[in-house]
Structure 1
Amino acid sequence: MNPTFRSLPSRCAGALACGVFLGLLPGPQSAHAVPPPFAIQGPGVNAGDFRITVFASGISFPLGMVKLSDGSILVAISDGTSFWSGSVGRLLRLVDADGNGVADGAGTVLYTGLTGGQTSLRHYGNLFFVTGQGVGRPITILRAGATPASALTLVGKISINYPSGSWMHPHSALNLRPTPGHPESCDLFFQLGSDQNFAKTTRTATLSSSTITGATGTLQGESIYKLTITDNGTSVVASALTRVAKGLRNAAGFAFHPVTGDLYLEDNGIDGLVDVNEPLSADELNVVPAAQIDDGTVPDFGFPTNYTAYDTGVLVGGGGVQPLMAFQPVPDGLLDSESEGPNDIAFAPPGFPPGLDNGIFVGFHGKWALGGLLNEENPLVFADLRSKTYFQFVGNKEPGIGHLDGLMSTDDSLFLADLTATGSTENSNKAGVIYQIKSLVSRLAYRTSHGVPELTWPAGVLQQADDLSGQWGDVQGATSPYPVGVDPARVTRFYRTRN
């Protein structure tokens, strides 16, 4: 079938200026077959550009998610009636073979025996990294099997050991990047937040492992750390524990920019000193430039004495690295609409429509144990990195949503894990839900990655022609991202995608 096309403004720079032009794009696909489970909103947002489905339901406390090589989804769950106690952590593989946005069946467990309260899952090469929140929940490293459907095997565990007494914001988040210049290694990033609501953390924790050499060191609170992990095929070795950032109350969600490698992170605002539901300071979105991660400096984001006051926007202290954005209530008629307690962030899928393709989605937990209309602080926010503005993409007035605490982006979809639709983490067995928001707009885009021009597209086959009236041919073997070189023998080239 011949695809339909719409024009794309040409964006050429650097080597592409000699005559490589971006061409035409297919239009939107079919709209929803069934009503979506919730509404989306915001400036320029067209609900018809998306398919929103309940990807999986009846799951116990889903949170961390990764996409496997065959397109299936691996999710960390905590089986039991309580997220915090008595549950068993498992890694569940969900398959959507027909691509209809709904997982086929209940899924298959690829690993079990983890402690409950699992909060983060990441993947690099043949290794999987999973952790829970706080004491007794180590960072567990697992190895992939022969196929995406194969069981995972244990490689080792890294423990974070806390001093006696409570620690308000223990470790809970992970992320990974390739170690610069060492493709056999990856850098594991994790956070250790403040031990109190509104005071400097003076105590320390320690890192240790009985199975992974080199996983040792002292950890200061209010920080993000990185640890290099080298895979030897049958075992791993850790090295170079490094403090990456400080002055952070609780950076429980962070992600790397897919092009620049900059580390973006959220930080949780200070709870109200009189009413904990009315924060003293605003939640934040911050960034550590890629070059600064490895240059030996440790940026200080200012907690506890420097912050942006909630609601008023007054800058207190004025020291430290200032945030990219401080999340304030959004005007909404007579009452402002609140967004409180960010838990996870994810970069927008590259296949999302223009206006939603250059930013970060932020999932807000909201009120601790409430869901639906009782939790008026739990939206999904889109933060636009071009304009440095934000809006609620999924509002905080959805009756069926509890806490959109887990986010994962693919080329054309954003997956959302609702930890528990009832809002309660104590009596909500199998109340978790995973949603898929899939773009129906196939969009060819241009970018430069490490100085190399690339084309990206979420779906379809890349085609090429010498002119718009000429014959279009498939670019054999082309996958997204596709590097675009300059051919002196061909003055002009046009590109498009077909379904």
Structure 2
Amino acid sequence: MVLENKMQKLLRFTIFTLLVSLAIFNIQTANAKPDLSGIKLPAGFKISIYADSKTKQGNYLAGARFMAFDASGNLYVSSAEGDRVVMLPDSNKDGVADEVVLVAGNLNAPQGLAFVGDVLLIANQDGVVKLEKDADNISNGGWSANAKPFISDLPSGGHTLKNIKLGPDGYLYLNIGSSCNVCVESDPRRATILRYTLDGKPAGALVTLGSHQQSAVWARGLRNSQGFAWHPKTGDMFATNNGADMRSDTKNGAVNDELPPEHLNKIEAAKHYGWPYCWGDPNNLKAQVEDPNFTAEPGFCKTTQAPAITFKAHATPIGITFLEKTNWSADYKQDAIVAMHGSWNRKQPYGYKLVRIKFKNNQPVEVKDFATGWLQDGAVWGRPVDVTVGTDHALYVSDDKAGAIYRITYMPGAK
């Protein structure tokens, strides 16, 4: 009995020691600074940490998603994981955030951010809310304590995260992801990009006559188009789109990890982009391929809009920004950067990087690696989500796995 008690005490002590060690490891890992030494960039570029868990109140950056700058040059970041929006001021302009300021909490899986004058619009999973300036409320960066409804009763679930941006035409654009992998949606607002007026009224592509409510649908057949931006010269809207999982190129065939390709689409009013029936042909950008396991009416895919360019399957392109406001060399100014978040749906992981979309005659012609290294030897330590150009002309990158914001600068002549 004495021996048994000693063994039980030893076992309990061993388990306790292991749990303490694991807790310490987790704390150290959570507070570890991302190692950027493995990030590869073109000559002349440098990447640094703008904010992470080491920043004052950096724990608020867990799950960092989409970003936007206000008129004063302050960076705002959403966290769908934390149901919050934060501000990252850099008062001394040294390229490092002073702290992470909580702007709004208790949100509902927020992602997209858009400034319209002195109003901050936040895209929750079930609708858009707005924050207004309140100079007396200094605890949260001078914003009102409570968000007010702006656009309500949007469909949620499935691909639930939404983005909102103010277009150059003065309208608000909002994506609604599909509720499923492949299906026919019962809600016509699913798998779309919507358009609204600045006062939150639907302003879709098709004008509704009579007593029927105006639709907000601007473009359809978009399984999950979270990232979009407008070409600086033409004003054309380009949106990333994530293709369906577990697809085959033959009827009842084996899953092909290389299908379907991800899309960069040029978004035009009233166009249908193919999902759930079709995907772009990487070998012929003017054609759409019919899914042999989920077919539409004969000839339907020929009526849909083919992508402007394609990416490798299951790379999960999300954020996109054009580079005209950077201080980079002239050959970058007409191009765009896309954040590849990576996907679970591949035997061989792919993505986890930034790519450059090269444009010629205002149209995308080539996809080229720009920043790589978040995926190393099959292991992923970071997942880029969004990209945006700051008022300091640098490129900012959010990472929801590392809980960090990176800053990429250009230094002519640097190696």
Q: TM-score, normalised by structure 2?
A: 0.70
Check the 8 A contact 1:132/1:138 in 2, yes or no. yes
Q: 1:191/1:97 Cα in 2 relative to 1: closer, same or farther (>3 Å)?
A: same
Amino acid at match of 2:39: A
For 1:177, the equivalent position in structure 2 comes to 167
TM-superposed CA distance for 1:249, in Å, is: 1.6
For 1:367, the equivalent position in structure 2 comes to 343
For 1:56, the equivalent position in structure 2 comes to 51
For 2:39, the equivalent position in structure 1 comes to 39
The alignment status of 1:303 with 2:282, answered yes or no, reads no
Q: 1:37/1:138 Cα in 2 relative to 1: closer, same or farther (>3 Å)?
A: farther
TM-superposed CA distance for 1:277, in Å, is: 8.3
Pairing of 1:283-432 with structure 2 (within 5 A) = 283-288=262-267, 293=269, 298-308=270-280, 315-316=288-289, 317-328=301-312, 340-348=315-323, 349-368=325-344, 375-386=349-360, 388-395=365-372, 397-398=375-376, 401-411=381-391, 412-421=393-402, 432=403
Query: What secondary structure, in the 3-state scheme, does the structure 2 residue paired with 1:388 have?
Result: strand
TM-superposed CA distance for 1:318, in Å, is: 4.4
For 1:142, the equivalent position in structure 2 comes to 131
Q: 1:369/1:267 Cα in 2 relative to 1: closer, same or farther (>3 Å)?
A: closer
Alpha-carbon deviations, 1:70-108, whole Å to 9, x = none?
A: 222111235xxxx2xxx4x22222122333321123x22
Stretches of structure 2 that go unaligned for 5 or more consecutive residues are: 1-34, 54-60, 205-215, 249-253, 290-300
Distance (whole Å) between structure 2 residues aligned to residue 108 and residue 276 of structure 1: 46
Check the 8 A contact 1:351/1:441 in 2, yes or no. no
Check the 8 A contact 2:261/2:314 in 1, yes or no. no
Q: 1:288/1:309 Cα in 2 relative to 1: closer, same or farther (>3 Å)?
A: closer
Distance (whole Å) between structure 2 residues aligned to residue 103 and residue 161 of structure 1: 34
For 1:68, the equivalent position in structure 2 comes to 70
Q: 1:369/1:198 Cα in 2 relative to 1: closer, same or farther (>3 Å)?
A: closer
TM-superposed CA distance for 1:389, in Å, is: 0.2
Distance (whole Å) between structure 2 residues aligned to residue 369 and residue 108 of structure 1: 36
TM-superposed CA distance for 1:262, in Å, is: 1.5
TM-superposed CA distance for 1:384, in Å, is: 0.8
The alignment status of 1:122 with 2:114, answered yes or no, reads yes
For 2:408, the equivalent position in structure 1 comes to 437
TM-superposed CA distance for 1:287, in Å, is: 1.0
Q: 1:76/1:65 Cα in 2 relative to 1: closer, same or farther (>3 Å)?
A: same
TM-superposed CA distance for 1:420, in Å, is: 1.2
Distance (whole Å) between structure 2 residues aligned to residue 200 and residue 64 of structure 1: 29
Distance (whole Å) between structure 1 residues aligned to residue 245 and residue 341 of structure 2: 14
More strand per residue: 1 or 2?
A: 1
TM-superposed CA distance for 1:315, in Å, is: 4.8
For 1:194, the equivalent position in structure 2 comes to 178
Alpha-carbon deviations, 1:293-332, whole Å to 9, x = none?
A: 4xxxx0121223331357999951544212110113xxxx
TM-superposed CA distance for 1:405, in Å, is: 0.9
Query: What secondary structure, in the 3-state scheme, does the structure 1 residue paired with 2:153 have?
Result: strand
TM-superposed CA distance for 1:132, in Å, is: 3.5
Q: How many residues align?
A: 332
Check the 8 A contact 1:60/1:77 in 2, yes or no. yes
Amino acid at match of 1:113: N
More displaced, 119-128 or 266-275? Answer: 266-275
The alignment status of 1:250 with 2:224, answered yes or no, reads yes
Distance (whole Å) between structure 1 residues aligned to residue 86 and residue 190 of structure 2: 32
1:96 to 90, 95, 98: 90
Q: Percent identity?
A: 23
More helix per residue: 1 or 2?
A: 2
Query: What secondary structure, in the 3-state scheme, does the structure 2 residue paired with 1:380 have?
Result: strand
Amino acid at match of 2:128: I
For 1:158, the equivalent position in structure 2 comes to 151
TM-superposed CA distance for 1:149, in Å, is: 3.5
The alignment status of 1:225 with 2:198, answered yes or no, reads no
Q: Which runs of 4+ in 1 moved over 6 A?
A: 274-277, 310-314
Distance (whole Å) between structure 1 residues aligned to residue 394 and residue 314 of structure 2: 23
TM-superposed CA distance for 1:152, in Å, is: 3.5
Distance (whole Å) between structure 2 residues aligned to residue 246 and residue 38 of structure 1: 40
TM-superposed CA distance for 1:436, in Å, is: 0.6
Distance (whole Å) between structure 2 residues aligned to residue 37 and residue 369 of structure 1: 28
For 1:108, the equivalent position in structure 2 comes to 101
TM-superposed CA distance for 1:126, in Å, is: 1.2
More displaced, 49-58 or 167-176? Answer: 167-176
Distance (whole Å) between structure 1 residues aligned to residue 111 and residue 72 of structure 2: 24
Distance (whole Å) between structure 1 residues aligned to residue 113 and residue 220 of structure 2: 23
Alpha-carbon deviations, 1:116-169, whole Å to 9, x = none?
A: x32221212111111234xxx43111113449941245332423344xxx9533
Alpha-carbon deviations, 1:203-256, whole Å to 9, x = none?
A: 01xxxxxxxxxxxxxx432211101123xxxxxx63535321112222121112
TM-superposed CA distance for 1:395, in Å, is: 2.0
Distance (whole Å) between structure 2 residues aligned to residue 98 and residue 401 of structure 1: 30
2:260 to 278, 281, 289: 281
Amino acid at match of 2:151: I
Pairing of 1:7-22 with structure 2 (within 5 A) = none
Distance (whole Å) between structure 1 residues aligned to residue 284 and residue 266 of structure 2: 23
For 1:445, the equivalent position in structure 2 comes to none
Amino acid at match of 2:194: Y
For 2:209, the equivalent position in structure 1 comes to none
Amino acid at match of 1:359: D
Check the 8 A contact 1:222/1:250 in 2, yes or no. yes
